[in-house]
Homo-oligomer: A and B are copies of this chain.
């Protein structure tokens, strides 16, 4: 009988030691086969109001109808739970994205197609997330909606508050958004509706065999 997987204590108080990677018998490949899909992260990035979550919701509905196993991580279900201890300081934003990336990795390991919907404005943090995954598992989806369109939509009134100085360091106003340089998918969300854009992603996934029976 092997040991329990947690260690009761460590001789090095601030470092994870006495921990060995545990060889799980049921692995990602078996789960992927069961689910008839290649697990991956669909990482939606773009300005506030660009349409990320609307498109992600629509896509998830289509994937569900195709019998695929998915999960959606967004600012709301994550910020209310796992990351409720984090605020919006620079350090906390970095930690927020780090945990989301690590969680995505576990969901991919669990055999799911994970939809991640966050502004994630900085290239470095998206590259960090990509680096955690295996080749082909990270699909960066740039929801490319011009700032003027996002600001006109302003669904939560946040741009208005940012312009009035009530919110500081708002992405696109007084904090930078760094567009992806080589995203797997670019969506022109000012020209097409969410349904059509979700189909565009489905096309990508089909073409690259993410949705086929896979082993």
* A interface residue numbers (CB < 8 A to B): 1-16, 18-22, 24-26, 30-31, 34-35, 46-54, 56-57, 60-61, 64, 67, 69-77, 79-89, 92, 95, 99, 102-103, 105-107, 109-112, 117-121, 132, 143, 153, 155-156, 158, 161-162, 166-173, 175, 189, 194
Contact = CB atoms under 8 A, between A and B. Distances in A.
A9 B171 contact: yes
A85 B204 CA distance: 36
A52 B5 contact: yes
Contact of A1 (B11, B77, B112, B194): B194
B156 A22 contact: no
Interface centre among A6, A26, A132, A167 (most CB of B within 10 A): A6
Contacts of A80: 16, 19, 21
A89 to B, nearest CB: 6
A12 B112 contact: no
B34 A69 contact: yes
Nearest to A53: B5
B169 A1 contact: no
For A30, A171, A175, the residue with the greatest tally of chain B CB atoms inside 10 Å of its CB is: A171
